[in-house]
Amino acid sequence: MTAESATSPTPVGPPSPARAAAATDDLVARAHRSLLPLALGLIAANLVLHLVIALAGNRITVLTTLPLVVIALGVAAYLATRGRALGRLRYGRLVAHVLCFLTVTAGYQLHLTVLAVLGAAPPSDGTLDPWLGPALVMPALWGLGLLMHAVGAVLDRGFEAPRA
């Protein structure tokens, strides 16, 4: 037992409303501060994803999609831990959704753009172009989901969890 702990009183009983509000504010502040590391982590992870695709001859395969699965699991882990309080931060969950959407879909679009600028057509196996899914279908369907999320967030005035 330290001298400081012997002199500071230990709270007994239920937390006061002021203490509960301060704890909630701290939780929300930590969630807010976690958004920049999330963005930077998503950018880095997507750079690795596209490096893997480039090293595989710019082919979209099951193996080159595994880093995308890792990104999705990482975002899910973030939302279950550090990002839990984002619902109490105005438009917090929507910002996380937008960051994920933009880094993933823009990565595929930029990869395809670089191939086009370099005059290198993406490899195709003669059937449906494997780039059709990540470069066209995924952004379209995910974009619809993001639009619905944005409209819902606006209707909820930006809060997706109880504020108190």
Provide the residue ranges of all domains of the chain, joining segments of one domain with +. Answer: 31-122+129-156
The whole-number pLDDT of residue 158 equals 85
The whole-number pLDDT of residue 120 equals 83
In this predicted model, what pLDDT tens digit does every residue of 8-35 receive, in sequence order?
555 565 666 666 566 667 888 999 999 9
In this predicted model, what pLDDT tens digit does every residue of 67-108 receive, in sequence order?
999 999 999 999 999 998 998 888 999 999 999 999 999 999
CA dist 107 to 12, 61, 63, 102, 114, Å? Answer: 52, 16, 17, 8, 11
Mean pLDDT to the nearest integer, 60-69: 94
The whole-number pLDDT of residue 73 equals 98
User: For tokens 């993933």, what's the residue?
Assistant: 104
The whole-number pLDDT of residue 130 equals 85
